[in-house]
Amino acid sequence: MDIQTIGVCGAGTMGRGIALTMARAGFATFLFDLNPQALAQAQLEHEKELAKGKISEAEKSKTRALIRYTPELEECLAELFIEAIVEKPAAKVALFNQLAELNHGDCIFASNTSSLSITEMAKQILHPERVIGLHFFNPATLMKLVEVVQTSFTKPEIIDTAVALIKQIGKTAVVCADAPGFIVNRVARPYYIESLRLAENNAGSFEQIDRLLASAGFRMGPFRLMDLIGNDINYAVSCSVYEQLGKPERLEPSWIQHQLVQQGKWGKKSGEGYYAYHA
Ligand SMILES: NC(=O)c1ccc[n+]([C@@H]2O[C@H](COP(=O)([O-])OP(=O)(O)OC[C@H]3O[C@@H](n4cnc5c(N)ncnc54)[C@H](O)[C@@H]3O)[C@@H](O)[C@H]2O)c1
């Protein structure tokens, strides 16, 4: 399938990075968000990223010309949509259905969800064979891996198109089945949950646990990583994987996460989480 225009929905942590990656790879891209402030912030961050990169002025101008920012749903016309909105299935399904009414019947709907069932979403969308997962990692501009999630409905041509596109943008596509948390988030869950248990039991402070695990070879300690991901998102993913796997005790989300989410301490993006951040 020929992809000309890519619509990225949700201009938060992930959508910003995905949109910039697509435009830098030469795709006409638009970033849609209901919140104009998120769009303005995304545009600012794109400018900062472009200023950092060792790319020519001509390339920067080309990238800028390829990205549009819009809060208007009616302007969302594309061959491929990648949604990176809140981790709530009903919101994602509602958005895809609104987009389905505006677009032709064979545009592809990809969800960047970290944990929700792509199959359950697909069942609620017209032409479920075109719904897939495209799970980018944070920060999306740098991280190479993308999990391409297929369901029993997915047409093989759609997976082929997605894999070719991921290669075209310089990333590594790994096709995987639609299982709770897919591969990476399933395996990563105990890293967060066990670290939270240690903190719950006063066996170490957030900083001590982070320092020890980073010294033991992990790229980032669990608490810094959760702050980078966003505690609202990480908690939603923890709950979703826990519930989908039948609530195993070892994966029970922590009251510490719950408390931080309730207090609006969502991590780096809100200025405070396990740590405090300055703008
Ligand atoms: N944060 C991570 O590290 C990470 C990594 C991989 C995947 N994900 C997944 O990506 C998705 C987004 O996560 P995030 O961290 O970027 O979230 P975020 O909270 O940073 O941003 C979400 C954005 O979506 C917008 N939004 C909410 N509802 C909308 C709607 N109906 N239409 C348009 N815009 C809407 C919000 O205004 C916000 O700007 C989630 O599904 C999450 O599981 C997150």
pLDDT at 227: 98
pLDDT above 70: percentage of residues in the chain: 100
pLDDT at 36: 97
What are the chain's domains?
5-177 (3.40.50.720), 185-270 (1.10.1040.50)
Q: What is the pTM of this model?
A: 0.96
The secondary structure of residue 202, as a DSSP letter, is: T
SS3 call for 123: helix
8, 9, 14: residue to mutate for ligand 1 pocket, most atoms within 8 A of CB = 14
pLDDT per position as a tens digit, 156-183: 999 999 999 999 999 999 999 999 999 9
pLDDT at 191: 97
Q: At what angle do helices 184-200 and 231-244 cross, to 10 degrees?
A: 110
Confidence check: pLDDT of 53 > 80: no
Closest Cα to atom 10, ligand 1: which residue? 84
pLDDT at 93: 98
What lines the ligand 1 site, CB under 6 Å? 9-15, 32-35, 38, 84-87, 91, 95, 112-114, 136-138, 229-230, 233, 237, 269
SS3 call for 29: strand
| d(CA 216, ligand 1 centre) in Å | 31
pLDDT at 272: 98
CB 88 within 8 A of CB 96: no
Confidence check: pLDDT of 279 > 90: no
| d(CA 112, ligand 1 centre) in Å | 9
What does the mean pLDDT of the chain come to?
A: 96
pLDDT per position as a tens digit, 216-275: 999 999 999 999 999 999 999 999 999 999 999 999 999 999 999 999 999 999 999 999
Q: Which atom of ligand 1 is nearest to 11's Cα?
A: 39
Q: Looking at the annotation, which residues are catalytic?
A: 114, 135, 147, 185
pLDDT at 125: 96
| d(CA 87, ligand 1 centre) in Å | 7
pLDDT per position as a tens digit, 24-50: 999 999 999 999 999 999 999 999 999
Q: What are the φ and ψ backbone dihedral angles of 128, each rounded to 5 degrees?
A: -60, -15
Q: Which residue has the higher pLDDT, 132 or 53?
A: 132
| d(CA 30, ligand 1 centre) in Å | 15
9, 13, 191: residue to mutate for ligand 1 pocket, most atoms within 8 A of CB = 13
pLDDT at 55: 86
Residue with tokens 């950092």: 52
- Count of positions (residues) in the chain: 279
pLDDT per position as a tens digit, 88-108: 999 999 999 999 999 999 999
Give the residue-averaged pLDDT of 42-68: 93
Closest Cα to atom 39, ligand 1: which residue? 12
The secondary structure of residue 148, as a DSSP letter, is: E
| d(CA 58, ligand 1 centre) in Å | 31
**Residue 54 — very low, low, confident or very high, per pLDDT cuts 50/70/90?**
confident
CB 103 within 8 A of CB 3: no
Confidence check: pLDDT of 113 > 80: yes
